[in-house]
Amino acid sequence: MNVEEAIQTAIQYEKRVVQVYEEAARASGDQTGKKIFGVLVKEEQQHVAYLESRLSEWKATGHVTAAALGTVVPSRARIDEGVRTLQSRVARKAPEAEMRLLKRALDVEVETSAFYARVVRELPPEGRELFERFVEIEQGHQAIVQAEMNAVAGNGYWFDIPEISMEM
């Protein structure tokens, strides 16, 4: 796979993820879930625009630069804040439909992350840099979706942090 093919394929992956998150945002019965899906829709749309700009650069110049790419992956302070406010949601069990939405979102994030990791391994250094940031961001998205799954399932975890300790 060359750089152009990798960018074109990445655009297809990102558009698919956008579609999954848009559908989940519409279908979610949980207000927090709707908000999380909505934020992820916007971020994934930004990824599409970013990749399209990189593709245009590649076609125009035969080179691609890895311009800065932001993310919604929260800071440690935001994670800590979320853990504190989660207490009201821990006891609630998620309806099956909500968990299916989250599972589908997690599946597309895992698949997309695997694609980016493969691209980083296979591309020459010039193209590799562009996709290394996507590996980090998509792994962060996986963590966000998994954290939401844990929170709405009421299993006592949020971002792999136990909410209830059995230790004395």
Would you say domain 3-156 falls under CATH 2.40.50.220?
Answer: no
Mean pLDDT of the region 138-160: 71
pLDDT per position as a tens digit, 97-145:
888 889 999 999 999 999 999 999 999 887 888 899 898 888 888 888 8
Show me where the domains of the chain are located.
Answer: 3-156
pLDDT for residue 146: 82
pLDDT for residue 82: 58
Please give the Cα distance from 161 to 147 (Å, whole number). 9
Question: Could you tell me the pTM of the whole model?
Answer: 0.78
Q: Which residues partner with 162 through β-bridges? A: 157
Cα dihedral 49, 14, 112, 135, rounded to 10, equals 10
Please give the Cα distance from 167 to 76 (Å, whole number). 24
pLDDT for residue 106: 93
pLDDT for residue 131: 92
pLDDT per position as a tens digit, 14-41:
999 999 999 999 998 878 788 888 989 9
Please give the Cα distance from 128 to 122 (Å, whole number). 8
